[in-house]
Amino acid sequence: MALFDKFARLAAARRELARQGVVPFGVEVERIHSATEGEIGGRRVILAGTNNYLGLSFDPDCIAAAREALCAEGTGTTGSRLANGTFAGHLALERELADFYGRRGAIVFSTGYLANLGMLSSLTAPGDVLLVDADCHASIYDGARLSGAEMIRFRHNDPEDLRKRLLRLGARAADAVIVVEGIYSMLGDRAPLAEFAAVRRECGGYLMVDEAHSLGVTGDRGRGVAEEAGVESEVDFIVGTFSKSLGATGGFCVSDRPELEVLRYASRPYVFTASPSPSVIASTRAALSILRQRPALRRRLWANAERLYRGLEALGFRLGADPSPVVAVLLDTREQALAIWAGLIERGVYVNLMIPPATPKGRSLVRCSVSAAHEPEQIDAICAAFADLRGIGAAPSRAPAAGGRGGN
């Protein structure tokens, strides 16, 4: 096989999309007007596919904090955390994250992807076992592969399937690492964490939860699905990202395990990556403070999510899960998904197009993500745009949540 032959199928798929006049991936947002509006193709659009759950990317306090750090500390650290890249702000953010979660320690990574990659590749090694929910994000699978550990997939959101697989491991189950997510990014469904925690108590192992899409979204204090389910004390490692509710870039892990500090020195994606820029750290700290102090943002987010979900449900679209800030509209074919996605942009609404192989069970869908910054009128405008297109994708009943590979 020649070097580039392995990309033939991907290249053919891109050519087919180009022939249809659709370029859905890497869409250029030409201008950003606010947390909820931008311009694509010269057209002003409502941004309904950004994961900007609390709408903090334009918050004045976050911008002011970033500007102050930019002026005081420059544009970047120009080094890794173990070289010259640890500034006072990095350590302060780690302390604040640990305090927010009520944990002993925290590690900040340069991206959410690197948080999963760095934790899993250092926590486990050849001879260890990772049990991974089938719908987990690509970063979790990549971290598992990089670790060299034995990886076992279990059925999505199925505690009994996890239990059976742990029991088959026998004594090895005691040191196995179980990895799930809080809210899954494709269909917006929650992990049954109380049930998973019960399996872990029965069979042994360590539990890691990726709360990327549930930080700031669920729980009385916005700490995620583990808090909502009342099982935080049974979760060994919580991983998350700054690129959703906190409106920035970066990732983290918090834990009560004293070994977390040692992992900092064993994690190659941490050791050999430049640390986050001071302005990013500063805006993230401001956003975390806002998350803690303004629970009304979370209430508004859920009001918007419910409004969109019920509006699309009334139009007859098949929706992938119960109401959540991720609202997935399931379609029968890739062509339907492409047509609706393009039709929504024409009507001033941007959402995410998701087609195989990145989707659960090879389904095609368009994914909306709701923000606390959306006005009710914007939610209604999104529904009106879908209403114009319901002849393409509406169905008589809502489909149940599906399994399969997820993405983010």
C-alpha–C-alpha distance, residues 243 and 284, integer Å = 9
Q: Tokens 């891109």 correspond to what residue?
A: 14
- For the chain, what's the residue count? 408
Gyration radius (Cα) of the chain, Å: 21
Distances (CA, A) of 49 to 43, 128, 216, 349: 16, 37, 17, 9
DSSP state, residue 357: T
**Beta-bridge mates of residue 181:** 210
Residue with tokens 């401001």: 286
Q: Residue 7 is encoded by which pair of tokens?
A: 């990309």
Whether residue 60 has a cis bond before it, omega within 30° of 0: no
Q: Which residues contact 394 (CB under 8 A, 6 or more apart)?
A: 315, 316, 317
* Type of residue found at 281: I
- Active-site residue (options: 90, 137, 213, 374): 213
| 277 part of the active site | no
Q: Is 156 marked active-site?
A: no
Tokens of 88: 């006072």
Catalytic residue among 90, 137, 244, 374: 244
- The H-assigned helical ranges of 79-185 are 88-101, 112-123, 138-147, 159-169
Question: DSSP labels for 332-348?
Answer: SSHHHHHHHHHHHHHTT
Q: Catalytic site residue 244?
A: yes
Question: Rounded to whole angstroms, what are the CA distances from 302 to 217, 309, 310?
Answer: 8, 10, 12
In what helix (H) or strand (E) does residue 318 lie, and over which residues does it extend? strand 318-319
Q: Are 125 and 145 in contact (CB under 8 A)?
A: no
> Distance between CA atoms of 178 and 197, rounded to whole angstroms?
10
Q: What is the dihedral of CA 284, 268, 116, 256, to 10 degrees?
A: -80
Exactly one of 185, 243, 275, 324 is catalytic; which is it? Answer: 185
Query: Mind telling me the catalytic residues?
Result: 185, 213, 244
